[in-house]
Amino acid sequence: MGLLDKIIVKLARRNEMRSRYLRKYFQSKHRIVVGMYSYGCFDADRIGADTTIGRYCSIAPTVQVLRRNHSIHAISMHPFLFNSSVPFDVKREIPYFPCIIEDDVWIGHGAIILPAVNKVGRGAVVAAGAVVTKNVPPYSIVAGNPARVIRMRFGSETIEQIESTRWWMLDENELAAKLRELGEGAFCPERIGIP
């Protein structure tokens, strides 16, 4: 990344939830797709290539989304077999494994998403320090090493009601209007119900 790019990215991060420039830059330069209003995910050292992050995601600044791993099937696991700066004629690319983090996901401090994971479902919570080794179901809360489902955020009927609103597709002005409409239901949908 050139000096001008670094300066522009640093300035754009001040408004990372709304910056279309950051989203275009990370998609074209790092193969990281980030939905609007998501934050904490504009760091190619922590978020691997071929990661797609949905809208309204909250990602702690210490989260790692790893998209490739050392090859355990080669003569060595050291990157010299794969590093283009090492003067060997035989080289291979270590493949990236795509991962989709759906809308409204919260990933806590120090969580690690390993390359075997290809989906973190909408509305899921990944607890601080979790090591995620398999896909995360929508609206679940996972914790531990390896991460496992602790509980669901809501019952199936409430999840259906939330899904029917498709609120994550709204821009911030539309969402503000929707929240006024929902009233207290936005904070406790299982008790009050969603219109």
Judge if 136 and 184 occupy the same domain.
no
Res 88: pLDDT: 64
With 90 as the cut, is the pLDDT of residue 11 above it? Answer: no
Neighbours of 122 (CB within 10 A): 22
Rounded mean pLDDT, 25-49:
95
Do residues 129 and 165 both lie within one domain? Answer: no
Average pLDDT of the chain, as a whole number: 89
For the cut 70, the answer to whether the pLDDT of residue 158 exceeds it is yes
At 188 the pLDDT is: 80
Q: Do 160 and 144 lie in a common domain? A: no
Same domain? For 37 and 94 the reply is yes
195 pLDDT above the threshold of 60: no
The per-residue pLDDT for 76 is 81
Given a cut of 70, is residue 143 above it in pLDDT?
Answer: yes
Same domain assignment for residues 135 and 88? yes
Tell me the residue range of the domain where 191 lies.
Answer: 154-195
**CATH number for the domain including 50?**
2.160.10.10
Domain co-membership, 132 together with 191? no
Which residue has better confidence, 189 or 127? 127
What's the CA gap between 48 and 104, in Å, rounded? 19
Edge-to-edge strand list for the sheet holding 119-120: 32-34, 51-53, 99-101, 119-120
Residue 30 annotated in active site:
no
Average pLDDT over residues 132-160: 97
Residues 164 and 83 in one domain: no
Average pLDDT for 137-163: 96
Structural domain count, the chain: 2
Cα separation, 77 vs 59, whole angstroms: 30
Alpha-carbon gap, residue 27 to 51, rounded angstroms:
9
Q: Quick one: 119 and 32 in the same domain?
A: yes
Residue 171 and residue 140 share a domain? no
Same domain, 91 and 180: no
> What is the predicted pLDDT for the residue at 87?
66
Give yes or no for residue 9 having a pLDDT over 80.
no
Residue whose entry in the numeric block shows the structure tokens 């830059």: 25
**Is 51 in a helix, a strand, or coil?**
strand
Active-site option among 30, 70, 78, 109 = 70
Tens digits of residue pLDDT in 74-98: 788 877 777 767 666 666 777 889 9
Give the pLDDT of residue 191: 63
**Long-range residue pairs from 156-163, CB within 8 A, at least 24 positions apart, any chain:** 158/189, 158/190, 158/194, 159/123, 161/189, 161/193, 161/194, 162/123, 162/189, 162/194, 163/122
Is 182 found in the same domain as 107?
Answer: no
120 pLDDT tier (thresholds 50, 70, 90): very high
Q: What is the mean pLDDT of residues 180-185?
A: 82
Do 35 and 23 share a structural domain? yes
Residues 6 or more apart whose CB falls under 8 angstroms from that of 49 comprise 30, 31, 32, 67, 96
And the tokens for 159? 């999840």
The per-residue pLDDT for 193 is 59
